[in-house]
């Protein structure tokens, strides 16, 4: 008899089971979010090669013949892996059993692919009427361009984000991470949690759909209303805010610092600290400073040239001006403040041993007698090897071992 897996530290979603059929980044990121929250996440992969991102590199790390893609590590912690051929009877039978026991199913196939495999949304809901399905596509599941394949950089361009990003109108740039994928996963997770809450009232599951372009439009923020309400066409503005000044990256004696002068009170404090007349023509208020942005930048950088960055940040802090530096990622993961927030975690990988991963962005607390007690999950599982958990999952499906946790009430 297979020994049951050791009990894992609990979280808000302990007792929920998520079947992750997705690959690459958008769906896997959503699945990892559920795992971080304590859900059991079973990642279903293609036999032999697994998730596409297992081969996305360099960088690869590990001994010859067991090289691991660090890209895969970025979105697959706190999951189990089983390899299933969904075109085989055995694979479809196992997936059917998994769906029957699941609370959530995540998929990011192109529109129609899951239907052809025999697992349409209607079929999945027939198997398990309480199932919540998260379906992520590139351009949406319907509409005139629904059949297009979804890739992050294409979505960044098509949904307008690249038109806002870069040093200027002739230098449009992608964001330095796959932000369309990541936001689709985050928005999708938010939708799933809402559907699970609704299920508590109705007893029925739901299909949650989002897309890479939806995630992009969802974060247009003030640039969106600048377009739809004011009728303007935003263009890349580099490292300076299009609606506030001074707000951006400014050269110092030995590098650069960022400042955010977001209101007139801060402007008064800033000008006093750096011997600037706050009523300088063209700088009397924020609208004037935005209209004369380059003159503002030139004046500020002439003052900042007298200070190295460290001294400048101290001076800005003393004046009460929001300011900061630009850190490299190694600096971020060594930063005491980031570490204090749990933003780096250590896991034990079966090939690589102890490794550090970026940590979850959420923390949880109980309030006991007016005192906050942290209940954040602090132990995490390494991203799994392909098919690493097949035996344990098979034993669970056949009842050879018991669930690790009691399902939520009403399941």
Residue 160 lies in a domain: yes
- Looking at the fold, whether 118 and 189 belong to one and the same domain comes out as yes
Digit-coded pLDDT (tens) for 52-80: 999 999 999 999 999 999 999 999 999 99
SS3 54: helix
- Could you tell me which residues are beta bridge partners of residue 137? 211
pLDDT interval class at 400 (50, 70, 90): low
Q: What stretch of H or E contains 28?
A: helix 26-36
Q: Domain of 264: which CATH number? A: 3.30.1540.10
- Looking at the fold, whether 199 and 144 belong to one and the same domain comes out as yes
Per the structure, the count of domains in the chain is: 2
- Looking at the fold, whether 34 and 141 belong to one and the same domain comes out as yes
Residue 6 lies in a domain: no
- Looking at the fold, whether 301 and 198 belong to one and the same domain comes out as no
- Looking at the fold, whether 262 and 156 belong to one and the same domain comes out as no
What the block records as the tokens of 354 is: 């102890």
**For residue 157, is pLDDT > 70?**
yes
Residue where the block lists tokens 């991102």: 53
Residue 230 lies in a domain: no
Digit-coded pLDDT (tens) for 229-240: 999 999 998 999
Residue 25 lies in a domain: yes
Digit-coded pLDDT (tens) for 327-358: 999 999 999 999 999 999 999 999 999 999 99
- Looking at the fold, whether 174 and 125 belong to one and the same domain comes out as yes
Residue 381 lies in a domain: yes
Q: What are the angstrom distances between the C-alpha of 292 and each of 248, 256, 257?
A: 14, 21, 20
User: Which of 20, 103, 152, 181 is the catalytic position?
Assistant: 181
Domain that holds residue 314: 247-324
Cα separation, 212 vs 88, in Å, equals: 31
**CA-based angle 41:357:179, to the nearest 5?**
75
Digit-coded pLDDT (tens) for 75-127: 999 999 999 999 999 999 999 999 999 999 999 998 889 999 999 999 999 99
Residue 124 lies in a domain: yes
- Looking at the fold, whether 257 and 140 belong to one and the same domain comes out as no
Q: What is the pLDDT of residue 9?
A: 74
Quick check: is 181 catalytic? yes
Residue 183 lies in a domain: yes
- Looking at the fold, whether 195 and 104 belong to one and the same domain comes out as yes
- Looking at the fold, whether 319 and 383 belong to one and the same domain comes out as no
Provide the pairing of β-strand 104-107 with 80-83. unpaired
Q: What is the pLDDT of residue 368?
A: 87
Q: What is the pLDDT of residue 143?
A: 95
Digit-coded pLDDT (tens) for 29-57: 999 999 999 999 999 999 999 999 999 99
Q: What is the pLDDT of residue 304?
A: 97
- Looking at the fold, whether 377 and 252 belong to one and the same domain comes out as no
Residue 34 lies in a domain: yes
Q: Domain of 106: which CATH number? A: 3.40.50.10540
pLDDT interval class at 280 (50, 70, 90): very high
- Looking at the fold, whether 257 and 179 belong to one and the same domain comes out as no
**For residue 3, is pLDDT > 50?**
no
- Looking at the fold, whether 166 and 105 belong to one and the same domain comes out as yes
pLDDT interval class at 274 (50, 70, 90): very high
| DSSP assignment of 251-266 | E-SSSEEEEE--SHHH
**For residue 402, is pLDDT > 90?**
no
Q: What is the pLDDT of residue 105?
A: 98
């Amino acid at each position: 008899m297979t020994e049951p897996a050791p009990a894992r530290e609990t979280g808000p979603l302990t007792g929920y089971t998520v079947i992750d059929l997705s690959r690459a980044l958008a769906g896997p990121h959503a699945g990892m979010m559920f795992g971080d929250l304590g859900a059991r996440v079973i990642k279903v992969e293609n036999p032999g090669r697994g998730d596409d991102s297992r081969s996305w590199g360099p960088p690869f790390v590990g001994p010859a013949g067991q090289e691991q893609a660090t890209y895969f590590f970025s979105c697959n912690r706190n999951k189990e892996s089983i390899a299933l051929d969904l075109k085989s009877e055995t694979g479809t039978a196992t997936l059917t059993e998994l769906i029957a026991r699941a609370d959530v199913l995540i998929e990011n196939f192109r529109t129609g692919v899951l239907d052809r495999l025999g697992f349409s949304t209607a079929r999945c809901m027939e198997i398990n009427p309480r199932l919540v399905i998260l379906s992520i596509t590139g351009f949406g599941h319907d509409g005139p361009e629904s059949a297009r394949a979804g890739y992050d950089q294409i979505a960044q361009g098509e949904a307008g984000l690249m038109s806002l990003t870069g040093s200027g109108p002739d230098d449009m740039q992608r964001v330095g991470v796959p932000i369309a994928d990541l936001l689709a996963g985050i928005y999708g997770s938010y939708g799933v949690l809402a559907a699970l809450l609704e299920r508590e009232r109705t007893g029925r599951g739901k299909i949650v759909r989002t897309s890479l372009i939806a995630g992009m439009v969802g974060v247009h923020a003030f640039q969106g209303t600048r377009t739809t309400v004011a009728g303007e066409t935003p263009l890349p503005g580099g490292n300076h805010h299009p609606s506030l000044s001074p707000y951006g990256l400014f050269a110092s004696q030995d590098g650069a610092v960022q400042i955010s002068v977001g209101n007139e009170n801060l402007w008064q404090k800033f000008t006093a600290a750096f011997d600037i007349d706050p009523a300088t023509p063209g700088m009397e208020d924020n609208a004037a400073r935005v209209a004369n942005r380059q003159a503002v930048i030139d004046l500020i950088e002439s003052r900042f040239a007298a200070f190295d960055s460290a001294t400048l940040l101290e001076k800005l802090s003393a004046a009460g001006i929001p300011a900061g530096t630009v850190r490299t990622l190694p600096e971020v993961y060594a930063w005491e403040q980031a570490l204090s927030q749990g933003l780096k975690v250590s896991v034990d990988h079966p090939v690589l041993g102890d490794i550090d991963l970026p940590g979850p962005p959420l923390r949880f607390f109980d309030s006991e007698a007016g005192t906050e007690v942290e209940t954040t999950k602090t132990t995490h599982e390494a991203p799994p090897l392909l098919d690493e958990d097949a035996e344990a999952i098979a034993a669970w499906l056949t009842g050879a071992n018991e669930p690790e946790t009691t399902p939520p009430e009403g399941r």
